[in-house]
Amino acid sequence: MNLFVGLPHVLRLIRAGFILGREGVFLDVDPGMIPPTAQPLFYLFRRLARSGVGRDGERLPRAMARLGPSYVKLGQFLATRPDVVGVRTARSLEKLQDRMAPFSRAGAVAIVERSLGQPIGDVFAEFSDPVAAASIAQVHKARRTQAGGGQQVAVKILRPGVEARFRRDLGDMLFASRLAERSSSEARRLRLVEVVETLARGVRLEMDFRLEAAAASEFADNTKDDTDFRAPTVDWNLTARDVLVTEWIDGTPMSDLAALRDAEFDLPRLGRNIIQSFLRHALRDGFFHADMHQGNLFVDPKGRIVAVDFGIMGRLNQAERRFLAEILYGFIVKDYRRVAQVHFDAGYVPKTQSVDEFAQAIRAVGEPIHSRTADQISMAKVLTLLFEITALFDMSTRTELVLLQKTMVVVEGVGRTLDPALDMWKTAEPVVRSWIEDNLGPAGKMRDAGDTFNAAIQAIARAPQMFERIDALSERLSGGGSRIEPHFSGARVSPWIAAPLWLLAAAALVAVLK
């Protein structure tokens, strides 16, 4: 039965392997990485390579484009996972353009009218042909009616039939990743199943534009007081599951350097702003745009950077933000022991490993940074070394941090395009130092103390209900016999219980303030 269930997956994966083989992708793969059971098929696909397949960095993006929108999206996602595919492959996948033939304007109008429940003329005075088309959606430029305010807006519309296609192809990918994890310890270390599940979860979120609208709205709230960065506003009244309407950004594309110069923008300042803004979003807000390539960035007439397309976002909790700040600051001040210890404290490296040996390996990453000029430092090379080291020390993949690291590489690339001499570490230092002072210094400890104290108070407030439940459970277990003492009458807390809780709260407060 399982054979027949998996057969459609196998057949479609063989077709995908055939296309990859024809495009010469397997010529770039080390046979030693292929499990013995898969090697016969691997060599067969390798022999299928057609002549004139081009350079190795071009083969995989071309094959992904031939396989269709789901694989284009997979390729873009893997470009953010150099820990899985390697930095070289990730960089080649960055060239993969998510550009598809647009569907008709009439089809777009039909979707808008169905989603909004009214004729398009009642909503928009103007509605253009598609101005951009990708695997999941396409964008139209429109103008609201006078009754709606008359402003220009961007209308993003979900591609018809895309959900069924993605569901099928992602099912194939999940099937393949499970097979890989059964036969390869390296696949298990890289958590290939988790990689595909993360992609599938991200695609599901991308296909509900209400969630993208929420991300854009939250991002705009976070940056509303920033003087050099902003996000477009969302029109919630015209946003549905498959339609998203936002403010139209009339700005200079950050990819057009000549236009930026003609507008007399300070390009080195923009380079510093993009890096510092990204770090503020990650550290201050714990919520960052994870697709900050030049195509998603504009500069408005006031010189502010404006980001668009909020389909891929990253989140960091407080512990992960602290980890990021400590790591960056440790590299900046060359405290490699601190960098290593932070990895162990966070539980990212098994305690069976040596902190000192890990610090020595981290030094091999950090020292080349400080021995070269700014324009000679490549974050891609730094990441290559880091991933090699984490594999050497059995460090499990942390998907949220890999996405952050990869976004940092993309942001650095944008910054370097604007200013080839940009010093990533010198630019990052004031933002990182400020966050550490605010969150790990005396003020941060006071806030942590307040949080701990509030948590203790809440625990005390819940204590009567907790002990009543324990009391009731004890009575049921004992068949109505003896009860756990002391018990509670009404909402009063026995001093014999409250006193230890207050002592616990005080101890936590002292520990935080040390």
- Catalytic residue numbers? 291
DSSP secondary structure string for all residues of 177-226:
HHHHHHH-HHHHHHTHHHHHHHHHHHHHHHT-HHHHHHHHHHHHHHHTT-
Q: Give the SS3 label for residue 306.
A: strand
CA nearest 363: which of 382, 391, 344? 382
Q: Which residues pair with 229 in a beta bridge?
A: 305
Q: CA-CA distance, 306 to 304, in Å (whole number)?
A: 6
Q: Which residues pair with 143 in a beta bridge?
A: 126, 152
Q: What is the per-residue burial (b if ≥16 Cβ within 10 Å, else e) of 189-198?
A: bbbbbebbbb
Tokens encoding 79? 């470009």
Amino acid present at 292: M
Q: Give the SS3 label for residue 130.
A: strand
DSSP assigned state of 80: T
Tokens encoding 255? 């990819």
Q: CA-CA distance, 487 to 497, in Å (whole number)?
A: 10
Distance of CA 298 to the CA centre of its chain: 21
Q: Which residues pair with 401 in a beta bridge?
A: none
Q: Give the CA-trace dihedral at 117, 122, 125, 129, to 10 degrees.
A: 30
Q: Which residues pair with 247 in a beta bridge?
A: 153
Three-state SS for 59-113 is HHHHHHHHHCHHHHHHHHHHCCCHHHHCHHHHHHHCCCCCCCCCCCHHHHHHHHH
CA-based R_g, the chain, Å: 27
